[in-house]
């Protein structure tokens, strides 16, 4: 029939939001241990948790 699971996220993340709190939310929602989720740049290096969503998108474009 179809997938009847509830979505985990309902809204888009704002461009000026820092990524740190979202990493923590992702870990909690998926039941992962703390520190297991990280965001990396195109060069493979970890991006700081105080980086904005816009800055990360700019690095990847």
- Determine contact, residues 46/38, Cβ cutoff 8 Å: yes
In a domain, 47, yes or no: yes
In this predicted structure, what is the pLDDT of residue 22? 87
**What is the pLDDT confidence band of residue 48, given thresholds at 50, 70 and 90?**
very high
Does some domain include residue 14? no
Contact by Cβ (8 Å): 56, 39: yes
44 within some domain: yes
Rg of the Cα trace of the chain? 14
Between 12 and 52, whose confidence is greater?
A: 52
Residue-level pLDDT at 5:
73
- CB proximity list for 47: less than 8 A, separation 6 or greater: 19, 38, 39, 40, 41, 56, 59
Is 1 domain-assigned?
A: no
Tell whether 11 is covered by a domain. no
Domain that holds residue 49: 21-60
Specify if 10 maps to a domain: no
25 part of a folded domain: yes
Q: pLDDT tens digits for 1-44?
A: 556 777 666 677 788 989 998 899 889 988 999 999 999 999 99
Residue 52 located in a structural domain: yes
- Report how many domains make up the chain: 1
Both structure tokens of 10: 């309902």
Q: Answer whether 49's CB lies under 8 Å from 19's CB.
A: yes
């Amino acid at each position: 029939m179809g997938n009847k699971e509830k979505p985990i996220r309902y809204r888009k993340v704002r461009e000026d939001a820092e990524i740190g709190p979202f990493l923590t939310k992702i870990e909690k929602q998926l039941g992962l241990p703390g520190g297991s989720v990280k965001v990396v740049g195109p060069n493979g290096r970890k991006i700081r948790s105080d980086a904005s969503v816009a800055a990360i998108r700019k690095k990847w474009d």
